[in-house]
Amino acid sequence: MKTVWISGASTGIGFATAKKFLDNKWKVIISSSNYEKLILAKKELLKSENKELYSYKCDISDRNQVTKTVNQITKEIGNINLAILNAAAYTPNKEQVFSIQNFEKLIDVNLKGTLFCIESLINNMKNNQNHIAIMASPVGYRGLPTGAAYGLTKAGLINLAESLFFDLKKKKIKISLINPGFIESELTKLNSFPMPFLKSADYAAEKIYIGLTGKYKFEIFFPWFFIIILKLFRILPYKLYFFLISKFTKL
């Protein structure tokens, strides 16, 4: 039985993905910085037929906590075959105010927290069947209004994953990048703008499971049509890109 660790798994995509892996007979480890939500998530997930479920409280922005958690998992449960680094912070900047505190918070969790996880995983992954999946966002493809802090961190994660694809080959660790569109969650509820092609967390979990357990692919993205549009925006010259985004967002 293979083992998957999913960070930020108490709600949203993380929770739905944990359930999907449980239903497919994986040994599942969930973690979250919110202990109360973690306990509720574990209670709900234990309704699954497969009871190979473990939980750890872990704030990924704390390097010591991450190291301790990954070491504990390895010692108490065994090798982590697949890690889905899903935990993230998000605070929409609706007033377009430049706040260094907001940047620091998102950098601490989304960027540094992911790096702390990768560091500990690399130090503990001992066999040739290891896989790390980084949850980014198409928001990181190009700059968007009100998304400077969040977009900066997700763009960083995309670049990080691309670089690690080459660097971790030597250690026989596969890297995947997950770029979901708008998915129903506590985070997207904070948005005040219309979200095109909004999908459920269960939809995302299905796509993630298929993408990570089938034939290896570097980038997993969905819904297909929406993300392809955003990918095309990446190659537009700035003048046209700024014009179109300003027109679409009316900002």
pLDDT of 51: 77
| Tens-place pLDDT, residues 118-144 | 999 999 987 778 999 999 999 999 998
Q: Write down the architecture of domain 3-249 according to CATH.
A: 3-Layer(aba) Sandwich (3.40)
At 190, is the pLDDT very low, low, confident or very high (cuts 50, 70, 90)? low
Amino acid identity for residue 98 in this structure:
F
pLDDT of 144: 87
Block residue for tokens 């900002």? 251
| Tens-place pLDDT, residues 26-68 | 999 999 999 999 999 999 999 867 679 999 999 999 999 999 9
Which residues make Cβ contacts (< 8 Å) with residue 226, sequence separation at least 6?
181, 196, 197
| Tens-place pLDDT, residues 15-32 | 999 999 999 999 999 999
Token readout for 133 is: 């999946």
Mean pLDDT (whole number) for 83-111: 88
Token readout for 146 is: 């009100």
CB count in 10 Å sphere of residue 97: 8
At 170, is the pLDDT very low, low, confident or very high (cuts 50, 70, 90)? confident
Distance CA 59, CA 48 (A): 26
DSSP 38: H
* Secondary structure class of 184 (helix, strand, coil): coil
- Say yes or no to pLDDT of 249 above 80: no
Domain ranges of the chain: 3-249
Q: What is the mean pLDDT of the chain?
A: 91
Phi, psi at 8, each rounded to 5°: 60, 45
Q: pTM of the prediction?
A: 0.94
At 188, is the pLDDT very low, low, confident or very high (cuts 50, 70, 90)? low
Block residue for tokens 């010259």? 237
